């Protein structure tokens, strides 16, 4: 059983309910991935999903589960970046009553709940090193104990891990265990960015248009010139960004504002510089001569802004987690967010979308 956040399967307006997820990924770049998914689904091997944020790693993970003999059991997901270490351990392995302050009753973790099914560990690179040791142990022995407990519990779970980080660099920096890396990386699937499989864009636009029209009770069309502009854009946020763009069009009832935003972004060109080079370039204005000291100060501030934004995006704007990763206090981070003028894109969504999403979650 897959826990799905939207009811495509039950929606009478969707005439092709099977055309979703990987079924939409018809490009030549995705064909080898579809083949690999079909091959690994039947086995119990651990799979490591890699690729930029929003490319559809979770969609691939769900497809593996759906095609596997475990399809009738649960598919569960844990985002390792969303919880601090102690809570993440309890989320994964459960806890006994009284294990820590607030543990009023015994609670099984996701490893127990997903018994017979599949568990997706998202943002695996963010897992604290101590927990990585416990995870490795579980993968090797198939047994674990709940937090605060001694009894060994066995669980038959197929593990899929996902990350958009450079795990090899994390390993070299001693932030990711080498033995766990090799244990997880039995089969690696690299999901390419959307800009490398542009032929999927019209199909995805149509899929999202129909889905959001049905969800919001609209009949919005997307003009051919908007589809053309979408085909040219570089989509740094990949399919998630495309999905949100179509959602905004449907909610606003017009493609114009989103179309114009994309045209403006195309005129600026894709970001090809590294964040640091861009940060330095942003501070140097050939028309205004300033001291080298001032350039250094401005570049440092800009680099800080870029780094904070990247970390916040990576942890889905979980500010407590971001503060820990950046090794500054929560209060200092809040101050810097305001100082740098950073805005969570999700908070800018139209109210109608936010309300519906709250209801759907
Ligand atoms: N092939 C697809 N068909 C339909 N929707 C898709 C497809 N691929 C991705 N999406 C949608 O795009 C969004 C991002 O997909 P997903 O969460 O799988 O990406 P991800 O690679 O796991 O991203 P992140 O690294 O941020 O966790 C989701 O809302 C998902 O439903
Ligand atoms: Mg994901």
- Of 163-172, 266-275, 349-358, which gets the smallest average pLDDT? 349-358
The pLDDT value recorded for residue 226 is 98
Query: Which of 218, 236, 270 is the last residue in one of the domains?
Result: 270
Ligand nearest to the CA of 24: 1
Closest atom of ligand 1 to CA, residue 79 = 27
* Mean pLDDT of the 322-327 span: 90
Spacing, Cα 11 to ligand 1 middle (Å): 20
Whether residue 10 is contained in a domain is answered as no
Q: From the CA of 225, how far away is ligand 2's center (Å)?
A: 31
- Nearest ligand 1 atom to the CA of 316 is 26
CA 56 / ligand 2 centre spacing (Å): 7
Cα 60 to ligand 1 centroid, rounded to whole Å: 9
118-177 per-position pLDDT tens digit: 999 999 999 999 999 999 999 999 899 999 999 999 999 999 999 999 999 999 999 999
Q: What's the CATH code of the domain at 44?
A: 3.40.50.300
Q: Report the pLDDT value the prediction gives residue 23, as an integer from 0 to 100.
A: 86
- Does some domain include residue 8? no
Backbone angles phi, psi at 77, to 5 degrees: -130, 140
Mean pLDDT rounded to a whole number for the chain:
85
Q: Given phi > 0 = left and psi -120 to 50 = alpha, else beta, which region is 44?
A: alpha
pLDDT at 179: 96
Using the mean position of ligand 1's atoms as its centre, give its distance from the Cα of residue 298 in Å: 36
Ligand 1: residue of 56, 161, 197, 205 to mutate (most ligand atoms within 8 A of CB) is: 56
Kindly list the distances between the CA atom of residue 241 and the CA atoms of 55, 149, 237, in Å, as whole numbers in the listed order.
9, 43, 5
- For ligand 1, atom 3: residue with the closest CA: 21
CATH number at residue 293: 1.10.10
Distance 50 CA to ligand 1 centre (A): 12
pLDDT at 345: 67
pLDDT score of 19 more than 90: no
pLDDT computed for residue 153 by the predictor: 93
Question: 20 lies in a domain?
Answer: no
- In terms of pLDDT, which residue wins out, 343 or 348? 343
What pLDDT sits at residue 349?
A: 41
Q: Is 359 within a domain?
A: no
User: Is residue 279's pLDDT more than 90?
Assistant: no
Residue 301 Cα to ligand 1 middle (Å):
32
pLDDT tens digits, residue range 39-85? Answer: 999 999 999 999 999 999 999 999 999 999 999 999 999 999 988 88
Flag whether 63 is in a domain.
yes
Q: Is residue 4 part of a domain?
A: no
Specify the pTM.
0.75
Q: Which domain holds residue 340?
A: 275-346
The closest-lying atom of ligand 1 relative to the alpha carbon of residue 122 is 27
* Total number of domains in the chain: 3
**DSSP β-bridge partners for residue 162:** 49
Query: Other C-beta atoms within 10 Å of 219: how many?
Result: 9
Q: Whose Cα sits closest to atom 15 in ligand 1?
A: 56
Can you tell me which atom of ligand 1 is nearest the CA of 51? 21
Residue 25 CA: which ligand 1 atom is closest? Answer: 1
Overall average pLDDT of the 284-290 stretch? 49
DSSP assigned state of 327: T
> Residue 294 — very low, low, confident or very high, per pLDDT cuts 50/70/90?
low
Which of 138, 157, 191 is a domain's end point?
191
Q: How far is Cα 146 from Cα 90, in angstroms, rounded to an integer?
A: 7
Report the pLDDT averaged over residues 287-291.
53
Give the single-character DSSP code of 95: B
Q: Which atom of ligand 1 is nearest to the CA of 52?
A: 25
User: Does the structure show a pLDDT above 90 at 251?
Assistant: yes
237 and 147 both lie in a single domain? no
Q: Which ligand is nearest to the CA of 53?
A: 1
Give burial (CB, 10 Å; 0-12/13-18/19+) of 203: middle
Q: What are phi and psi of 9, to 5 degrees?
A: -60, -30
Q: How far is Cα 144 from Cα 93, in angstroms, rounded to an integer?
A: 7
How high is the pLDDT of residue 17?
A: 42
Compute the average pLDDT of residues 17-32. Answer: 81
By the 8 A CB rule, do 181 and 129 touch?
A: no
Residue 340 is predicted with a pLDDT of 77
CB-based contacts of 180, cutoff 8 Å, min separation 6: 132, 133, 135, 136, 139
Q: Above 80 in pLDDT, residue 301?
A: no
Q: Cα torsion at 222, 226, 231, 235 (round to 10°)?
A: -90
Does 190 have pLDDT greater than 50?
Answer: yes
Q: Is the same domain home to 289 and 249?
A: no
Ligand 1 atom 8 nearest Cα: 56
Confidence band for 1, pLDDT divided at 50, 70 and 90: low
Q: What is the DSSP string of 248-291?
A: HHHHHT-SHHHHHHHHHHHHH----S-HHHHHHHHH--TTS---
């Amino acid at each position: 059983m897959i826990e799905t956040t939207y009811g495509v399967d039950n929606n009478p307006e969707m005439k092709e309910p099977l055309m979703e997820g990987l079924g939409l990924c018809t490009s030549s770049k995705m064909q080898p991935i579809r083949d690999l998914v079909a091959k690994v689904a039947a086995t119990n091997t651990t799979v490591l999903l890699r690729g930029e944020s929003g490319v559809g790693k979770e969609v691939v993970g769900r497809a593996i589960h759906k095609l596997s003999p475990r399809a009738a059991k649960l598919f569960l997901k844990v985002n390792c970046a969303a919880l601090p270490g102690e809570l993440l351990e309890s989320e994964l392995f459960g806890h006994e009553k009284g294990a820590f302050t607030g543990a009023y009753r015994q609670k099984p973790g996701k490893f127990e709940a997903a018994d017979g099914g599949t568990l997706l560990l998202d943002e695996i690179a963010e897992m604290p090193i101590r927990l990585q040791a416990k995870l490795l142990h579980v993968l090797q022995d198939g047994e674990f104990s709940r937090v605060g407990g001694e009894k060994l519990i066995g669980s038959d779970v197929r593990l899929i891990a996902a990350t958009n980080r450079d795990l090899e660099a994390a390993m070299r920096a001693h932030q990711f265990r080498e033995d766990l890396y090799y244990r997880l990386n039995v089969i690696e699937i690299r999901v390419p960015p959307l800009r490398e499989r542009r032929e999927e864009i019209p199909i995805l636009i149509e899929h999202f248009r129909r889905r959001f029209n049905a969800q919001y009770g609209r009949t919005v069309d997307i003009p051919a010139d908007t589809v053309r502009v979408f085909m040219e854009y570089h989509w740094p946020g990949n399919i998630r960004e495309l999905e949100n763009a179509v959602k905004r069009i449907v909610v606003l009832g017009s493609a114009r504002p989103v179309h114009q935003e994309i045209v403006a972004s195309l005129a600026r060109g894709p970001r090809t510089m590294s964040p640091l080079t861009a940060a330095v370039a942003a501070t140097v204005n050939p028309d205004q001569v300033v001291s080298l000291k001032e350039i250094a100060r401005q570049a440092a501030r800009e680099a800080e802004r870029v780094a904070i934004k990247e970390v916040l995006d990576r942890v889905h704007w979980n500010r407590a987690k971001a503060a820990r990763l950046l090794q500054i206090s929560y209060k200092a981070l809040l101050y810097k967010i305001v100082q740098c003028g950073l805005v969570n894109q999700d908070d800018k969504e139209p109210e109608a979308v936010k309300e519906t999403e709250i209801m759907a979650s």
